[in-house]
Every structure is written in structure tokens, then in C-alpha cells.
Amino acid sequence: MQAVVDAVRFAFGLESAYWDDPAAFRTHDAVYDHFRQGFSPDLAAAMTAHVLGGDGDVATWVPEQVHVVELEASQALVWFPTPASFGRAGLWDLADYMHVHLRREGAHWVVDWAKDRSAPPVR
């Protein structure tokens, strides 16, 4: 269970790590590879397009608490509260909770999708 929590926190910290030193990522592929460490190919591509798009808005945050709802050998579902700064009155107008699905890739977990919702998932 802790590996899933750590994977979520790691993945959601990748954007901040990029913005700490964007010049360290000299090519599109380097940025994509960076995000691919914690996200599925589709999400890594979307994150790459976002940061290279030049708007400078941070789209992710590292959640303080991650609640594991489902944990199987190859997939997991977690949730965490959306910070107010990203919520309905904030930068991204997100609902109050993020539902995040992860899947196992080899020995590690990657975020497969993330959706904002008005309530935590039901166990």
C-alpha cells in the first residue's frame, strides 16, 4: 500500500521538479521521459505539452494525504482532497476530490488517469 502512496506523491511532484530547473530538460523527449517516470504514456504526453506550452501554470500538486480505496496486483485506486487554490474558486476550477487510478508497469506504479469528483470514491 505504501508503494502506491509513494508512487502518487512521486508522480505529482514531477511537475514541480521540472519547474525547479526547466533548462535541465533540453529536448521534448527529455521532458516526456521525465514525466513518464510517474505517468502513463498519454498523461506523460499531456504533461509534456502542458509545460512546453509556456503558460507557466502548475497543473499538479503533491497531496499531503493519499487514501487507498482499491489495491490489486496490477492496479489501484486512490483519492485525495483538492487544495482550495486548485478548486472551484481557484486556478483550475476542480471539484473537491481527485480520484487517481494507477497501474503497475514492471516493478513500479504509474498514474493511469486522474479525475476530479465531488466526493471520494465509495469503497
Contact 22, 51 (CB under 8 A): yes
Read off the pTM.
0.91
Q: What is the pLDDT of residue 56?
A: 63
Band (pLDDT 50/70/90 cuts) for residue 99 is very high
Q: What is the pLDDT of residue 48?
A: 95
Residue 22 CA to residue 52 CA, distance in Å, equals: 9
Task: Tell me what the mean pLDDT of segment 57-84 comes to.
Answer: 92
Tell me the domain boundaries of the chain: 2-52, 67-117
Instruction: Compute the half-sphere exposure of residue 15: CA atoms within 13 Å on the CB side of its CA.
Output: 21
